[in-house]
Amino acid sequence: PEVCLRFEVGPDAAVRSPLAVQNGFLHMLVRSYTAEFFMSFLTNLGPFLEDEIIPEVIPMEIEVVDAKITLKDDNPQVYPTSPGPVPITLAVDHILVKRRDDGVFYVTDKPVSVLQEQKALAECVEAAPAPAAHGLQLKEVPELQRELQTMKLALAEASMDKARLLQEIRKYNPLFQL
């Protein structure tokens, strides 16, 4: 995984937000992160996040690219013959969490910088001579990417349906194998 942090403070940070001049501005980029957490980890985070003092608002942007987080239930099983719950996997292609001067966190999926990177990439592809053997036009690339994303979502949904059906079958026949 790749993690980049940048903290700006002072007059140069005014381009980020007016509050960043005095409190600073934090930009964090997390790329290619994979982790597994138990559900009890999430439920026990609450006491660590509580505080009696209201913190100063620090404007920030947290950008997560190509991350996969798997949540596993580690609670005791209610039924001893049950195979247990299926782990939940959260796959993040690209997400941006912004905290503005009002202290509210905003979640977006396509930051402007990504659109600019895609435009720059398209310009580079246009400038480079494309081999005739591939036959792909630049206009077809975004369409193919959208189609690939749709197929990935359909595959993930089918996989979840399969796991759910297997879990349902194993309720009635714990020894069932596929």
User: How many domains does the chain fold into?
Assistant: 2
Are both 86 and 36 inside the same structural domain? yes
**Residue 118 lies inside a defined structural domain of this protein:** no
C-beta of residue 139 within 8 angstroms of C-beta of residue 125: no
Confidence of residue 124 (pLDDT cuts 50, 70, 90): very low
Are both 17 and 81 inside the same structural domain? yes
pLDDT digits (tens, 9 = 90+) for 129-162: 444 444 556 667 778 888 888 888 888 888 888 8
Q: Range of 105's domain?
A: 3-109
First-to-last alpha carbon distance for the chain, in angstroms, is 35
Confidence of residue 103 (pLDDT cuts 50, 70, 90): confident
Are both 13 and 78 inside the same structural domain? yes
**Residue 124 lies inside a defined structural domain of this protein:** no
How far apart (Å, rounded) are the C-alpha atoms in residues 122 and 125? 5
Residue 8, SS3 per DSSP: strand
C-beta of residue 83 within 8 angstroms of C-beta of residue 174: yes
For all residues of the chain together, what is the average pLDDT? 79
Mean pLDDT, residues 7-16 = 90
pLDDT digits (tens, 9 = 90+) for 20-70: 999 999 999 999 999 998 888 877 877 776 766 767 889 999 999 999 999
One-letter amino acid identity for 9? V
Are both 72 and 154 inside the same structural domain? no
C-beta of residue 112 within 8 angstroms of C-beta of residue 118: no
How far apart (Å, rounded) are the C-alpha atoms in residues 164 and 170? 10
**Side-chain-side CA neighbours of residue 102 (13 Å):** 3
How far apart (Å, rounded) are the C-alpha atoms in residues 6 and 26? 6
